[in-house]
Amino acid sequence: MPPNEPIEVRLSKKLSWLLRHGAKKEGIPIQADGFVNVSDLANHPRFKCFTLEKLQQMTASDAKQRYTLRWNQEKSIHEIRANQGHSLAVLEGDSEEMPALASEKTQLRASEKPQLRDGCTDAKLTWDQNPVLCMVCAAPFRSTKDCLAHELLKHANKPQKQLRQRLNAITKLFTSAQTQSERSELQDVLEQSATGGHLRTVLDFYASDLKKLESCFGHVRNCIEKEMQDRVKVFPFGSLVTGLSLKGSDIDLYLQPCDEQNIFHNQLYNRVSHFLRRSKCFTEVFTIRHARVPIIRCKHQLTGLSIDINMSNPNSTYNSRFVCELIARDERLRELCLFLKIWAKKLKLISHGSLTSYCLISMILVSLQVHKLLPPIKQLQSLCPPINVFGINYAFCFQLVPPIPRALETLDLIKEFFEYFSSVEFEKYVLSPFLGCALDKETTMGTPGGFPEYEDQLESMENAVGEAPEPFQLDRCMCVQDPFELQHNVAKGVSPTNLAYFRQCLRLAAQACNNQDLLQNPAKLYDFLLFGLADKLVADSKSVKATPAKQKKKEIVILEKTKTLESETKSELVSTLNTPPIVRSHVITPSTNDLKYLRSGDLGIKINENKTIFYYWLTCYVDTIKDVLTKIYGMEIKLKESQEPCRYHWLISTNLDTWTGRSFQRSAGQSFFAHQIQQTIEFEKLRRGNAAYEVSAKGIFSLLASEDYKEIRLNIQPLPGDLLGLQRNSPLTKFFKALKNLLINYSFKEKASFWKFGQMDSKNVEPNETS
């Protein structure tokens, strides 16, 4: 695709390609941890634009934090690396164990029910017993008490407040007079439906008038082509082509220049924008230049229909043609796609920060493929010659595809969709219509050679366009691959909150489709899926929302006599919700990047066969926390009890607040640790003698690790007789919150780089004197 982005965007893409994929190809030395010497970049004839000043500007202004720019004190040079998305083999650590195949974990037979998640209080609990659903992962439980205990145990650090705000918005929407009137009207027409015609009634109730859309498109096309003096051709795509448009749907258009050599995309964009603004046929013209695909949005004056015009990306026209031909093969497929689109629209699952209609269609393709009702796109392309557009093959052939069995009804296909996706762990897998299954992120997309067709397409796109495309965004909470454009994550805009909400909707919909009472009364079933489901979500959220406001924080509250949360029963945990906190806890677990860095060999670890990599991760963290307490916060610590390396109890004390108002912003040429030490020195000079910062903070600080070294729990507990204790504004509470914040901002790679790892024992793991 010819470049049409601002120069800063193009430079960022160029730098991303180089640091993630192209350094070796360009002859630029790259270290095992991915860092490249800035001087090597600036001296390369193709990358002279990347001076130190330019790289500092790019890293500082990059909202997505794609790069890390550092000063290497040992080599006295500046270095830069991409934070993720590498395909170079030298950047990959060894895998400790091989996960099970995605197909073995995710594919379900049509007759299977989704399994309950870990933590459910009754393994025999089934979907038709109306369980209470977890507000985060939607796991079913028999009672609100058990569900709340599960949330505190498993999701103490999840942003549940945002999810409840989401549900509050849904409440207002579904309790509005307009929605209730719409529901009543739909119930009336459903009651009058003939036997077996209820789904058709729902579709007719919400589907738009295609003839009106086609008439509007004809008028708009003639108007634009005439005004542009036949220099462009207008092609529709989206719901107008697929026939899946609903009432209020917009019209999507692609403008193709007839002579691409004489007009650039930005020139065409400006010319069309100017024409629309002065035309009497269009109103409310709005340009969106910096989107992934720049568009112009306007409204057709005569019909009031919204129109989106794009003139730089024809890919959507090919996608729409594929969906159109697919659903034309079987009316049940059209009904499936149209109903699920209505369902998602009604529940506001298709919106900003959530799914798109095309993402939903891609998920429907995967559902059909895992149930063996549709071949993978890869197989469809093997039956015909390629159709390459900017390096992407949009060819397909349905001639040899067997028809869907007659015994299956549309409702069966809807049920299979809900049941399949209600059991998928979206954070772990990439849903790929191209291969027809769910792929493990680490072993396929995240590993060189794990998905050869994807890597071949990246190379093909680079050769066609002359610029490396941005790789697939694996760092999102939900990953759904475009059926043809394999490096495009069509679910990249889904936020964690909306994913949690989507999960709940899937669970409740799957439950409804297995409820015999609803199945025997289709009118009630469709009413529940479109309206009643939201009522149940709101009712469940209110029952779980009984937690006092002060307890809904990223903290775990336990009793003094309880040493670990695991030893406490769920019923005991719930009973403590009305008890003032006596101990506050914070849990730390190793990330994949932590373990990769330890395995990289930079630290010189000589692994003992009897010690796992988690042992060394734990040892590093223990020494890190000691240094944070003593060097950064200037506390006096006295060891009260220890059982190395898993258990420590320290008596901590200080009379100066050195944690309030700390800055965690990193600066070039200075490590995070050094920056924090510098602030401590300044605080001790300025705050000592200032009554506003004088405190008497004393308590018991505990570090408890699991037997497998895969989890660390930090506890803070006041001394007997401390009247302030762990109240909201007490010094200990403020200190502990600041400590958690600091540990989150302090990357493990920097922690580990300050330690010299010896042979095998924790005694040989000493802090580096130069730190």
Query: Could you report the per-residue pLDDT of 113-160, keeping only the tens digit for each?
Result: 334 343 443 333 444 445 555 555 556 666 655 665 565 555 544 456
Asked if the model's pLDDT at residue 16 lies above 80, the reply is yes
Terminal Cα-to-Cα distance of the chain (whole angstroms): 49
Summarised one tens digit per residue, pLDDT across range 713-730 is 898 988 887 777 777 778
Q: Is the pTM of this model over 0.85?
A: no
629 CB neighbour count, 10 Å cutoff: 19
Tell which wins on pLDDT, 283 or 133: 283
What is the distance between the alpha carbons of residues 302 and 34, in angstroms, rounded to a whole number? 57
d(CA 166, CA 173): 11
Report the range of poorest mean pLDDT among 8-12, 353-357, 444-448, 558-562.
558-562
- Give the pLDDT mean for 279-305: 83
Could you give the 3-state DSSP secondary structure of residue 331? helix
Give the pLDDT confidence score for residue 262 in this predicted structure.
53
Give pLDDT, residue 340. Answer: 96
With 50 as the cut, is the pLDDT of residue 574 above it?
no
* Per-residue pLDDT at 626 exceeds 80: yes
> Is pLDDT of 109 > 50?
no
* 417 has a pLDDT exceeding 80: yes
pLDDT tens, residue by residue, 55-82: 877 877 776 778 888 877 777 788 898 8
551: pLDDT strictly greater than 80:
no
Find the mean pLDDT for residues 557-575.
39
The residue ranking higher by pLDDT, 759 or 174, is: 174
Among 36-50, 585-599, 636-650, which stretch is predicted with the lowest mean pLDDT?
A: 585-599
**What is the Cα–Cα distance from 430 to 427, expressed in whole angstroms?**
8
With contact defined as beta carbons under 8 Å apart, do 353 and 495 qualify?
yes
Supply the pLDDT for residue 609.
61
**Res 337: pLDDT:** 95
Mean local confidence (pLDDT), 197-209:
92
Supply angle C-alpha 304, 305, 311, rounded to 5: 130
pLDDT band of 367, cuts 50, 70, 90:
very high
- State the pLDDT at residue 438: 92
Residues ≥6 apart with Cβ < 8 Å to 391: 457, 460, 461, 462, 463, 464, 465
Instruction: Say yes or no to pLDDT of 592 above 90.
Output: no
- 4 close to 312: Cβ distance less than 8 angstroms: yes
Task: Decide if pLDDT at 112 tops 80.
Answer: no
Confidence of residue 321 (pLDDT cuts 50, 70, 90): very high
Place of tokens 């992934």: 292
Q: What is the pLDDT of residue 608?
A: 61
Q: Which span out of 577-586, 699-708, 760-769 was modeled with the highest average pLDDT?
A: 699-708
Element (H, E) at 766: strand 766-767
Residues 137/117, Cβ–Cβ less than 8 Å: yes
Within 10-128, strands assigned E span: 36-37, 67-72, 77-82
Whether the per-residue pLDDT at 198 is higher than 80: the answer is yes
Q: What is the pLDDT of residue 561?
A: 39
Separation of alpha carbons 722 and 737, rounded Å: 19
Q: What is the pLDDT of residue 385?
A: 92
CA distances from 348 to 170, 273, 355 (A): 8, 31, 9
Residue 750, pLDDT score: 75
pLDDT of residue 98 exceeding 90: no
Q: What is the mean pLDDT of the chain?
A: 78
Confidence band, pLDDT 50/70/90 cuts, at residue 392: very high
Q: What is the mean pLDDT of residues 213-240?
A: 86
pLDDT of residue 161: 64
Q: Is the pLDDT of residue 88 over 70?
A: no
Predicted local confidence at residue 145, as pLDDT: 54
